[in-house]
């Protein structure tokens, strides 16, 4: 039996979905008993050249051609952003259609509201592709690992920043130069803020954390630092210290509260996340029964993202063929406090410019000593123009102590500027 599917948006991801459904329609029919056919496609400009070809009458600029069409049972949303995607998804659910989306921005902000409507209507609302592209993350956290208490999520979940940091590490080039290249190659958008300021990773962390920790998490709960402050000098010092710089998304349940953070981090080269390069993504998960797990793969791109979305289509068709409605309950299972930052002491890298004269280093050491911070490594290169560049790596230090030391360093006359402060991971996961 044919199942009619409506596609909202047909760009990079939507095109991949069309291609993959066409390639696998017979296999899907054999697996589910239902044969998927995309019958209507919403776009802004029907005359635009696309990577997939359609008979012209399939394309529409009117969302109601899909939402109000009773023959369409499944809607796939690949428009992106909040509106009009939110209104269309809610209208599709209220019109009795299952919905599949890759829209992390929408789920991070309005996920619970949409899931509630899907549950009321007894329909599937699936979004595996919203985090990690092709990598199965949502379903393992929702299904395979639910017997666990998850204590840690840690990973690289933004491909654009990982590409930029990888190229900075490989070439020694500065951030602006590599960002320009990434934009020319289509990896970074012309307004790169959502990626480079860490917001895309924070939205994805919000989605993962709410499932893994079984609680309501909002974007405001995440402490977010992006990669704009990372310089070629920091990348070179990281190399000297046996590390690479990565943008990590970190979620931690310490038993009392959840802590969420996106931050550039020096990752020792022995750590598996140090080897996740270019636009690849990876996520560590620690569950009390399962132990450590690592998920790795392509976090974006047309077919990789379509792989996750068509997986959701197949899941929906299976549920339809067995008349299983809306399998997941959406309510939070714990009410733990959610806090920004990290509960654990971390090692910190500090790069500072100071006047090159007697006693300066002693003053810095005194501030560290007063804040009860122990120094692990100290580097100082030959001074230029009476300015010394000093790099200190601390032993594990509570975040309050490092913040207090930074306040005191800023008051020190001979200290010209704190150029960067970057936390460092331990050698293992």
Among all residues, which ones are annotated catalytic?
Answer: 204
Report the nearest approach of ligand NAP to the CB of residue 84 (Å).
5
Contact partner at residue 244 from ligand HSE, ligand NAP, none, CB < 5 to 8 Å by partner kind: none
Nearer to ligand HSE, 3 or 300 (CB): 300
Is the Cβ of residue 210 or residue 215 nearer to ligand NAP in the bound state? 210
Q: Which residue is nearest to ligand NAP (CB)?
A: 11
Rounded CA-CA distance 266/297 in Å is: 21
Contact between 215 and ligand HSE per CB under 6 A: no
> With CB under 6 A as the contact rule, which of the stretches 3-11, 172-180, 284-292, 384-392 interacts with ligand NAP?
3-11
Considering only the stretches 78-86, 348-356, 386-394, 405-413, report the one whose residues sit in contact with ligand NAP under the rule CB under 6 A: 78-86
44 binds, among ligand NAP, ligand HSE, none (CB under 5 to 8 A by kind): ligand NAP
Q: Which residue number, 28 or 135, has a Cβ lying nearer to ligand HSE?
A: 135
- Whose tokens are 């997986």? That residue is 311
Site for ligand HSE in 266-305 (CB under 6 A): 299-300
CB 202 within 8 A of CB 262: yes
Site map (CB under 6 A) of ligand NAP, residues 273-302, x = contact: ---------------------------xx-
Q: Quick check: 43 binds ligand NAP (CB under 6 A)? A: yes
Question: Could you say which of 74, 100, 103, 238 contacts ligand NAP (CB under 6 A)?
Answer: 103
Q: Which member of 16, 80, 140, 159 binds ligand HSE (CB under 6 A)?
A: 159
104 binds ligand NAP (CB under 6 A): yes
Please report whether residue 160 would count as binding ligand HSE according to CB under 6 A. yes
**Smallest Cα–Cα separation from 266: which of 296, 241, 295?**
241
Task: Give which of ligand HSE, ligand NAP, none residue 166 binds (C-beta under 5 to 8 Å, depending on kind).
Answer: none
- Which residue in the set 64, 84, 176, 384 belongs to the binding site for ligand NAP (CB under 6 A)? 84
Question: What is the contact surface with ligand NAP in residues (CB under 6 A)?
Answer: 9-14, 42-45, 48, 78-80, 84, 102-104, 129, 133, 300-301, 305
Question: What is the contact surface with ligand HSE in residues (CB under 6 A)?
Answer: 133, 158-160, 195, 200, 299-300
């Amino acid at each position: 039996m044919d199942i009619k599917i409506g596609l909202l948006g047909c760009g990079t991801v939507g095109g991949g979905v069309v291609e993959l459904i066409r390639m696998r329609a017979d296999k899907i029919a054999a697996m589910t008993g239902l044969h998927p056919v995309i019958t209507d496609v919403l776009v802004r400009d029907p005359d635009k050249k696309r990577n997939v070809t359609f008979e012209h009458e399939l394309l529409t600029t009117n969302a109601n051609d899909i939402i109000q069409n009773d023959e369409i049972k499944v809607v796939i949303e690949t428009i992106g952003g909040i509106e009009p995607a939110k209104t269309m998804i809610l209208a599709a659910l209220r019109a009795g259609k299952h919905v599949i989306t890759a829209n992390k921005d929408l789920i991070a902000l309005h996920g619970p509201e949409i899931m509630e409507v899907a549950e009321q209507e007894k329909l599937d609302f699936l979004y595996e592709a919203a985090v990690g592209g092709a990598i199965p993350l949502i379903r393992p956290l929702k299904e395979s690992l639910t017997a666990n208490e998850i204590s840690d999520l840690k990973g690289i979940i933004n491909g654009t920043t990982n590409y930029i940091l990888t190229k900075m590490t490989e070439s020694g080039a500065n951030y602006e130069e590599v960002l320009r290249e990434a934009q020319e190659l289509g990896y970074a958008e012309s307004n790169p803020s959502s990626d480079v300021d860490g917001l895309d990773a924070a939205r994805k962390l919000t989605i993962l954390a709410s499932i893994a920790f079984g609680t309501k998490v909002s974007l405001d709960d995440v402490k977010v630092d992006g990669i704009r402050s990372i310089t070629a000098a920091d990348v070179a010092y990281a190399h000297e210290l046996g590390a690479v710089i990565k943008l990590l998304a970190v979620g931690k349940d310490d038993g009392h509260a959840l802590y969420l953070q996106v931050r550039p981090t020096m990752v020792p080269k022995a750590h598996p996340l140090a080897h996740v390069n270019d636009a690849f993504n990876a996520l560590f998960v620690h569950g009390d029964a399962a132990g450590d797990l690592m998920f790795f793969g392509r976090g974006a791109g047309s077919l990789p993202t379509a792989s996750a979305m068509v997986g959701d289509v197949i899941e929906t068709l299976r549920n339809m063929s067995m008349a299983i409605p809306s399998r997941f309950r959406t309510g939070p299972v714990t009410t733990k406090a959610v806090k920004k930052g990290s509960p654990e002491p971390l090692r910190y890298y500090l790069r500072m410019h100071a006047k090159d004269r007697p006693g300066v280093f002693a003053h810095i050491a005194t501030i560290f000593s007063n804040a009860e911070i122990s120094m692990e490594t100290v580097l100082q290169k030959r001074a230029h123009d009476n300015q010394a560049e000093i790099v200190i790596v601390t032993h594990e230090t509570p975040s309050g102590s490092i913040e207090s030391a930074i306040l005191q360093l800023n008051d020190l006359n001979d200290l010209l500027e704190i150029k960067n402060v970057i936390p460092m991971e331990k050698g293992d996961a």
